Chains A and B, each alone.
Chain A
Amino acid sequence: MSTPAIEIVGLTKDYPVGFWRRRSRRALDNLSLAVDSGEIFGFLGPNGAGKTTTLKLLTGLIFPTSGTARIRGRLIDDIGMHSEIGYLPEQPYFYDYLTARELLDYYARFSNYTAAERRARVGRLLERVGLASAADLQLRKYSKGMLQRAGIAQAILHDPPVIFLDEPMSGLDPLGRREVRDTLIELRKQGRTVFFSTHILADAEMLCDRVAVLAGGKLQGVGAPGDIVSLEVHAMEVLFELPPSHEVPPVFAPNVTRIGARCRLEIPEPELYAALDELRRCKARILSVSAVRPTLEDYFLRLVNQQPNKPLRSGLEVALR
């Protein structure tokens, strides 16, 4: 079996709080998970769930209270591990007196490229993230979207096999989000492992091979986005139109939403056939019948509304590996 790209075992982080710093607050509680090479792995959770703490632990910016992690087999306190990773922090801020070209050249110096290699690599990357025309502009004159692009460029500058992105789509317009999505897909095609946190669940659903959901510092579940949502109890949606002289049967009235001439009925799956019979009796024209699958967003919102430390649902299979 090949070494996982990211392997986290019992990672825990406590921050001291209070004036005397005698008390502590647990930001991350015994996190264990593994991410395979070549995966796009989404890290979801509400604010304060411990996502950024995890990313900072994995990039060596903070130190764990207990537990450990390995990136491609290297412990996170091994300086050599840093050659294996690229990192884009949330709302990145760079040396704003530098131009994008200078910034990338500066970072490239830590990867031991020759001056010619640096020049070529930086030029290529600026072109790739669409900053070639603004390459010699100081970063203090950059918009948020441009800074994010510069941030992604610096994260992949040295061709790291594992890339950590903290809220990479945050604050971007739809076009910017699309570009970031395309970049992530391209990185996956190249066989790189992308581990990113996000609040934008549609992006996670669209991009991720697997997601982990974190709340209150605890892991709530790991799995393919489809696995997580498909385990939910389904409802059925019936779209129909009634003849002008007919009213919605009173038994359905509480569950019917009118959209112009059309009606939308949502009912539990076992009641579907009885409902269809009743609608036929009312001369209703059935337009469609479909299963209502809760989205990742529904799952996420339910999670946020639950006790942070309580497991989400007994039926949810937590694919901890």
Chain B
Amino acid sequence: MNAGVFATRLPGDRAVGAAPVSVAVNTFREAVRDRVLYNLIFFALLMIGAAILVGKISIGIDRLVIVNLGLSAISLMGLVMAVFIGVGLVSKEMEKRTLYTLLARPIRRWEFLLGKYAGLLLTLVVNTSFMTLGLAAALLWVGRPFVQTDWLILVAVYFILLELAIVTALALFFSCFTTPMFSTLFTLGIYLTGCFAGGIREFGDLSQSTGLKLFARVIYYLVPNFHNFNAIAAAAHGVKIPAALIAQNTLYAALYVALLLIASSAIFSGRNLK
């Protein structure tokens, strides 16, 4: 038979990044259709309730309360989404076997992972953006005009997004080789350890045991240092956030995410889909 009868399109014909973009868009569409963004309604109600309450009980600290509450809620709701959707990014596709027909196509496994990651990140960015708008609306509601230090709120939101980017990569990493339950436990465990990384290191330094000191150091350098990403208090109090910290956090998150995605791809590329 003439091999030329079936002219097929090779992956090389595809535009670079087309496959991850398609997967990402589909992942985002799944989140929207599964009503993941309904959490925005809860956030809106929280902000409305807080704004009304603040107006009645606080004098002069309305901005502090609203910003603190709003940013904390943005962080917490983002974290819940990143962990609980993140751990299912791969395992759900494997469990439901939707992956079979996809990976039989000309798509590399790392492209699939990158697409899933980008799709969830897009969902988190959209979700966080709407919540930030809700926070701005709440600040307007309490009748407080915007001031120059309000850009710090955007920096705090940016830091939350960087934090969520790392948490999502962690969840994706674990979901490549373990069950959703263990992935959730490991991701949350590392998140909490990362929030107290500085304290763990100080605790090790105070210890007399060399082994404990070394262990604390290893943990400190291994887990993502989430403490540096918490700018909620600074944004609420209008304390300046240095540009160097913004650059450092951006670089740190990018490197950490890149390493996790590379490790995830290495593991997933050799995995048998039973």
Contacts and interface: CB of A to CB of B under 8 A. Distances in A.
A87 B100 contact: yes
Interface in B84-109: 96-98, 100-108
Contact of A87 (B1, B6, B101): B101
A315 interface: no
Given A2-B1, A37-B1, A110-B14, A61 B100 contact: yes
Interface stretch (A18-26, A158-166, A244-252, A292-300): A158-166
B56 interface: no
Interface string B19-43: 1001000100110011000000000
Interface string A90-114: 0011110110000000110111110
Max chain B Cβ within 10 angstroms of own Cβ: one of A86, A97, A160:
A97
Interface residues of A, number: 45
Interface stretch (A75-83, A212-220, A305-313): A75-83
B269 to A, nearest CB: 10
Contacts of B274: 15, 62
B106 A109 contact: no
B106 A80 contact: yes
B60 interface: no
Interface string A65-87: 00000001000000110111111
Contacts of B9: 83, 111-113, 158
Contacts of B108: 79
A142 to B, nearest CB: 14
Contacts of A83: 8-11, 106
A82 B100 contact: no
Nearest to A193: B1
Contacts of A191: 1, 5-6
A63 interface: yes
A84 B30 contact: no
A3 interface: yes
A95 B116 CA distance: 14
B3 interface: yes
Contacts of A56: 100, 273
Interface string A1-45: 011000000000001000000000000000000000110000000
B17 interface: no
A106 B23 CA distance: 8
A113 B270 CA distance: 29
A54 interface: no
B104 A60 contact: yes
A158 B8 contact: yes
A89 interface: yes
B45 interface: no
Contacts of B100: 56, 59, 61, 87, 89, 92
A79 B110 CA distance: 12
B272 interface: yes
B255 interface: no
Interface hub of B1, B13, B18, B270 (most chain A Cβ within 10 A) = B1
Contact of A82 (B12, B30, B97, B107): B107
A72 B3 contact: yes
Nearest to B12: A80
A161 B8 contact: yes
B11 A107 contact: no
Contact of B18 (A15, A109, A158): A109
A87 B5 contact: no
Contacts of B11: 79-80, 82-83
A85 to B, nearest CB: 7
Nearest to B22: A109
A159 B5 CA distance: 11
Nearest to B107: A110
Contacts of A98: 26, 29
Contacts of A89: 97, 100-101
Given A3-B3, A158-B8, A82 B106 contact: yes
Contact of B22 (A88, A92, A110, A158): A110
Contacts of B13: 112
A106 B22 contact: yes
A154 interface: yes
Given A62-B274, A93-B96, A110-B14, A161 B5 contact: yes
A93 B26 contact: no
5 contacts: A88-B101, A92-B101, A111-B106, A113-B9, A191-B6
Interface of A: 2-3, 15, 37-38, 56, 59-63, 72, 79-80, 82-89, 92-95, 97-98, 106-107, 109-113, 151, 154-155, 158-161, 164, 191-192
Given A87-B100, A110-B105, 17 more contacts: A15-B274, A61-B104, A82-B107, A83-B9, A83-B10, A87-B104, A89-B100, A92-B100, A92-B101, A95-B98, A97-B33, A107-B101, A109-B18, A109-B19, A110-B14, A110-B19, A155-B101
Q: Which 3 A-B pairs have the closest CB atoms?
A: A161-B6, A87-B104, A37-B1
